[in-house]
Amino acid sequence: MTALPKPVVRASSMAWRGGVLTASSRVLPEETAVVLTYDRVSFAVMMATPSDLRDFAIGFSLSEGIINNLSDITELDIVPLEMGIECRMTLTASKRDALQTRRRKIIGPVGCGLCGIDTLEQAVRPARKIMSEASIPATKLADAVARMSRLQTINHQTRGVHAAAFYNPLSDEILLREDAGRHNALDKLIGAASSVGVSAGQGAVLLTSRVSIELIQKTSMFGAPILIAISVPTARAVREAEAAGLTLIAIARDDGFEIFSHPERIIFEEAHAHVA
């Protein structure tokens, strides 16, 4: 039986530093073709880091609206193949029928970024409305972002993967997943959180990437009221977050962050707002 690949590998290289060429090596993140199948029919093929793939399969299924909860998947196996890995899922009868109807509407090939869709309406579907009234102190969010870096075990080795994390302000705990792809990292997080019964409506999603519309859509499907990222959002992401009732925070640095939508969820102990 083919074994699952390791998430990191060491590769040989030649380093040219200070005008001197020397033999070297570096630990790199692995990237593997992962096919997600439902009832033995392929739905999407993604390039992903081969770790936490059960979480990935569950999170992708949830964030893409294929299932509503874990019980909609009756079987889930991670099957290593010669050319990649299959996340082999079996759905309940009702979800299988709904997916078959969805498949019949797809004509032609689709890309990895927006799998299983064929119309502009599906690509820019409105994000699910966030109903949570949770609020979190700004200092706690800043501390969570700082702590997130220390939990990125694969990135510590490779400096080449993204992370998505969920911060629970009640327990002060952080749940984190990593992947070479930022969308994959978020799907893995959603799957992991759902598997352990995390209450998404009470906390915040943390990202090490920029924020695009797909990440807004996935976060809103998850139900987290706050999304905070270390890089910039797209303009469309800001508009979608505002419409969805999602608090979008970005450009998180050691000295603070910027809030782009719904700032009412952030508690400032000392309010010194300066509006130009």
Catalytic residue positions, numbered: 112
CB-based burial, 181-207: b 16+ in 10 Å, e otherwise? bbbbbbbbbbbbbbeeebebebbbbbb
The token pair that represents 143 in the structure block: 């501390």
Give residues with Cβ within 8 angstroms of 198, minimum separation 6: 166, 168, 175
Q: Give the pairing type, strands 41-48 and 8-17.
A: unpaired
123: Cα within 13 Å, side-chain hemisphere: 11
Distance, CA of 255 to CA of 273 (rounded, Å): 15
Count Cβ atoms within 10 A of the Cβ of residue 244 and give its class: 0-12 exposed, 13-18 middle, 19 or more buried. Answer: buried
3-state secondary structure of 91: strand
Single out the residue of 253, 225, 254, 219 nearest to residue 237, CA to CA: 219
DSSP 178-192: EESSHHHHHHHHHHH
Single out the residue of 198, 201, 231 nearest to residue 135, CA to CA: 201
